Structures are given as structure tokens and as C-alpha cells.
Amino acid sequence: MSAPLDVLVLGGGPAGAAAALAAARRGARTVLVEKAELPRYKTCGGGLVGAARDQLLSAGIDLPAVTRGTAEAVTVTWGGRLPVTRHAPGPLVPLVLRAELDEALVGAAARAGADVRTGVAVRSVDLDGTVVLRSGETLRARTVVGADGSASRAAAVVGVRCDQVDLGLEAEFAVDDARAATWAGRLALDWGPVPGSYGWVFPKGDLLSVGVIGPRAAGDAVRAYYRAYREQVGLGSAVPVTDSGHLTRVRSLSSPLARGRVLVAGDAAGLLEPWTREGISYALRSGRLAGEWAAQGRPDGYVVAVTSQLEPEIAAGRRLMAAFTRHPGLLQAAFGGVPGAFGLFGRVLDGRATMAGQLDRPAVRALRQLRNLVATSRAIRAVCDGGDVAGMSGHDAARCTPADAAAPHR
Ligand SMILES: Cc1cc2nc3c(=O)[nH]c(=O)nc-3n(C[C@H](O)[C@H](O)[C@H](O)COP(=O)(O)OP(=O)(O)OC[C@H]3O[C@@H](n4cnc5c(N)ncnc54)[C@H](O)[C@@H]3O)c2cc1C
């Protein structure tokens, strides 16, 4: 039997590529297995926030080479109405095609020394570091990094739990010069009719990415919103180049990140910003941490690093998501009328500010204390009146299982 690998990475998305790159850079004998042949399509808006750009630069990716479009202006609507357009002083968000970005990242991992095997699917994962491939071949590693996406096999073994599951639907349309010029440099966001949902148009040169995301539990309503939104942006009857759906999952706060010799990163771990469902930066950051700690055979170090570096941002996103779900109109009003709101949005997007930092500002803390005071007095009143306050908390918990993700998207 051959000696075990130092690090075996499952999945060649941003999390897996970042993990393999980091492990190989540290001299670990690293293999990455990816079930698809690259380049492969991935359902994704391809919008890169500042934290993602920073990771890509340190990974040595030539960002301009994979950027298909940038946005300096944002048009926001609420249910397709009340359009407000705001302009930033410079580019806000680079927009990429995931097929191109992911291929570049996996290429960087291979150049760093990782052995990349594409067209190789994982069948089963064991906590002792044994991985059986669909071909029947068995690989063994001191540490396995599960970066196999939101339907992860590794996550099922580690026992990842998620308390927010969303359905994302996205189509890419080839557009003529006139329509491409209308959208050049401007993206659109729409606060949708399903609580917690929103839609987007991302311009990528001669392609437009149009999509919506919302709670999987309201799947039919999210699909109806998708159809309506495509109509609203004038693409109702256009035939898309690609049209697909994918689930996203946000981890429960107490959910494990590692067990035995297996640790999970990116979507497999449910590491996703709950409000925007931005996941590329989380995949890149958690993937890099996973590779660094896996190279040392220290899953415990990985857990501490993710908990301290990424969990606070996810917690802030949860709070914003709760507010957005209840009051989407507030967001529209803020964009339209509150001085500084768009500037703050831009700073959070490009990484100069964080949502957690904003929610920790003294004025916001004072507002929260006031709200807690009101909620507490309501709860006391309910108890005194003999009412039931049990419904004040509680999550719609879900395990992230492959079978769950195999459910039809449409
Ligand atoms: C509609 C939609 C729009 C989105 N838009 C954005 C956006 O604009 N910006 C943003 O930051 N995030 C966005 N996201 C989230 C983002 O796409 C994910 O968070 C990100 O792709 C996570 O990267 P990952 O590497 O963890 O997983 P993935 O990118 O899913 O990669 C997992 C890889 O594992 C491989 N794999 C799976 N199973 C196996 C197996 N059994 N054996 C071997 N390989 C396997 C897959 O083929 C895949 O290549 C969006 C998501 C959706 C659904």
C-alpha cells in the first residue's frame, strides 16, 4: 500500500483550488480531485467583492485577464419599480465567468505543485482519511479537505448543519452591441416579492447574467419571481446560453467544521454571507486556511481560524438578512434618500468596511439595545398575560446532505 498523501482536496471550485494552492505552497504532497473536466460551468453571478479580490491577488491570479465586466453604477428597484441609480467614483465590482476564474485558480494550484486530477468523482469519504473514487480507486490522506460544494459528501460525514437554504436561479444571455452598451458599467439589483429574495443583472461584455435567489422553502414563488424578473429587464422571450439552478446553504453557528481527519471549506461548510449569499470570498478564505492547517495536520487550528475570522461576518449577515426580510422597503429608501448609504454600500463591497464593523458602531448598538428593551417588555407582558413566547426564537435547521441537494431545482 502506498504512503498516504499529506493533503487530499475534494473539489476544484474556489475553496478547493485555494486549499490545494496553500497546501502545495507549504510543501505538502497534495492531490486535488474534481469530478468535472475544466473549464466547467458553475451557476453563479460571478460578482467579486473586495475580500475575494484580495485573495485572488495573493493567489497570483491575473484578475484583469478573467474580468468580463465591471460595475461603477448600481440601479436598485423594489419589485421592479422605483428605480434609483447611483454612481461610484470608480469600479465597484469585477464580474467574472466562473468557468474562467475556477480554471485559472486550479491552474495556480497545479503550478504550485498540487497534483490535479479532473474528471474524477468522489464516491465516499471516511473520517480516517480514506476516500473512495467512483472508479473504485482508494486514496488515503493524513488530512482531507472537503471542498465539494453545497451537496458535499464530506459535509455529510463531518455532520455540517445549515439553518438557511436558498434556491438560486441564473441565466446568461448573449446580447447585441446596443444592449451591451446600455448595461456597460452598471449592474442592477431588485428587492424581490418573496421575503429575503433579490434579483440581479450583471453585465459581462457581450453576456448578461440575470438571476434571482430566495428561500428554497418558497421554491415556486422564487421560480415565478425569476420569470417575472427576466420579463422586467426585457429578456422574457430571449433564449439564454445557460439557464440553471443551484442551492446555497448557510451553516448553523454551532455546526462542525472538522471531524477526524476531514475538514470542510467553502459551500461544503455552509460558509456563505447570509444576506447577499456571496460565497466566493468565503470559499477562497476558508480554502486557504484549510490548506494551510491541513499541511500541518492541524484541523483544530483551522476550526479556530474560521471561527475567529469568518463567523463574525456571517453573524452580521444574519442580522442584516433578518432586517431585509422584514423591511425590504427600508433598503430601497436608504439607497434613494439617505446620504452616505450608497458610499457605505460601496465600501463594504470593496472591502474597506465590514458589515460586522458597521453593526458594532455605537449608534447601531444603542438602537439594538432600545429594540431589545422593547422586545423584553413585550415578552414579560406576554408571560404575565399567559401568552406563549416560545415562537420568539428557533431555527429551521437542516442537514446538508447530497440527497437533499439532488432535489429538482425547477
Ligand atoms: C445563483 C447563484 C449566484 C451566486 N452568485 C454569487 C456571486 O455573484 N458572488 C459570490 O461571491 N458568490 C455567489 N454565489 C455563491 C458561490 O457560487 C459559491 O459560494 C461558491 O461557488 C462556493 O465555492 P466552493 O468552491 O465552495 O464550491 P463550488 O464552487 O460549488 O465548487 C465545488 C466543486 O466540487 C466539485 N465536486 C462536487 N462533488 C464532487 C465529487 N463527488 N467529487 C469530486 N468533485 C466534486 C464540483 O464539480 C465543483 O467544481 C452564487 C451562488 C448561486 C447559487
Residue 287 DSSP SS3:
helix
- Which are the contacts of 250, defined by CB distance < 8 A and separation ≥ 6? 162, 163, 164, 165, 270, 272, 274, 314, 318
Task: Check if 349 has its Cβ closer than 6 Å to any atom of ligand 1.
Answer: no
Q: pTM (2 decimals)?
A: 0.90
Task: Check if 283 has its Cβ closer than 6 Å to any atom of ligand 1.
Answer: yes
Task: Check if 246 has its Cβ closer than 6 Å to any atom of ligand 1.
Answer: yes
Residue among 44, 105, 134, 207 to mutate when testing ligand 1 (max atoms within 8 A of CB)? 44
Domain 5-68+97-160+250-317: CATH class, spelled out: alpha beta
**Which of 67, 98, 51 has its CA nearest to residue 317?**
51
Distance CA 394, CA 4 (A): 43
Ligand 1 atom closest to residue 166's alpha carbon, by position in its atom list: 53
CA of 388 to the centre of ligand 1 (A): 41
**Which of 291, 251, 249 has its CA nearest to residue 11?**
291
pLDDT at 364: 60
Digits of tens for pLDDT over the chain (410 positions)?
A: 578 999 999 999 999 999 999 999 999 999 999 999 999 999 999 999 999 999 999 999 999 999 999 999 999 999 999 999 999 888 899 999 999 999 999 999 999 999 999 999 999 999 999 999 999 999 999 999 999 999 999 999 999 999 999 999 999 999 999 999 999 999 999 999 999 999 999 999 999 999 999 999 999 999 999 999 999 999 999 999 999 999 999 999 889 999 999 999 999 999 999 999 999 999 999 999 999 999 999 999 999 999 999 999 999 999 989 988 988 888 888 888 787 888 888 888 887 778 777 666 666 666 566 666 666 666 656 656 654 333 333 233 344 444 444 443 44
Domain boundaries defined on the chain = 5-68+97-160+250-317
Task: Check if 13 has its Cβ closer than 6 Å to any atom of ligand 1.
Answer: yes
Distance CA 195, CA 175 (A): 31
Nearest CA to ligand 1 atom 18: 279
CA of 280 to the centre of ligand 1 (A): 8
Task: Check if 94 has its Cβ closer than 6 Å to any atom of ligand 1.
Answer: no
